[in-house]
């Protein structure tokens, strides 16, 4: 379960090491939070996400997203890297959870980041080696699309930086994807 808004605010304002209040300081030309008691800096780093560009029967596997960002949009399966797993392991796990497919990774496709978005997407080329295509965790539906046949969707209207950025990532990744068979 996700922490309540109160506990998230509390975690952001207190040191994770000693529990003391964090002070906002400017150093290295940036505003950061630092513990007043032990001096630990509360680094705010981008969260890693693994994405799979899966080739299945000469087509690209896409899911219709259940949750934000871009709920309802078609995208390659992707999800956060969990503690205790590598990015490639997360890509394989997320593909299985969201599409029902077992995949093998074929190599790094691209790394996407943007300074005002707290996410880093590491995209891999992959191909299906088993399983059956079906919408799973975090997916409303799953489908396979030939090059040039992806669903055409309008830019997001939310105005949120992460929606705009993720929309661009999806457009770039699907435009550059080509089957290897």
Active site residues: 141
Backbone angles phi, psi at 149, to 5 degrees: -110, 10
The residues that bridge with 78 in the sheet, in sequence order, are: 51
Pick from 1, 114, 100: which is nearest to 49 by CA?
A: 114
Contacts of 55 (CB under 8 A, 6+ apart): 61, 106, 125, 126, 127, 128, 179, 180, 181
Distance, in Å, from the CA atom of 53 to the CA atom of 56, rounded to the nearest integer, reads 10
């Amino acid at each position: 379960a996700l922490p309540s808004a109160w506990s998230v605010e509390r975690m952001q304002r207190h040191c994770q090491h000693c529990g003391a209040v964090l002070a906002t300081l400017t150093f290295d030309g940036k505003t950061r939070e630092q513990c007043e008691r032990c001096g630990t800096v509360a680094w705010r780093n981008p969260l890693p996400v693994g994405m799979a560009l899966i080739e299945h029967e000469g087509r690209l596997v896409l899911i219709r997203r259940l949750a934000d960002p871009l709920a309802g949009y078609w995208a390659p399966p992707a999800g956060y890297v969990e503690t205790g797993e590598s990015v490639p392991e997360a890509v394989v796990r997320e593909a299985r959870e969201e599409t029902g497919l077992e995949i093998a990774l074929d190599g790094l496709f691209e790394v996407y980041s943007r300074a005002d978005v707290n996410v880093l997407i590491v995209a891999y080329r992959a191909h299906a080696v088993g399983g059956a295509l079906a919408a799973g965790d975090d997916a409303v539906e799953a489908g396979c699309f030939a090059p040039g046949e992806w669903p055409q969707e309008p830019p997001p209207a939310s105005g949120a930086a992460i929606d705009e950025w993720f929309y661009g990532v999806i457009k770039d990744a699907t435009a550059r994807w080509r089957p290897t068979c």
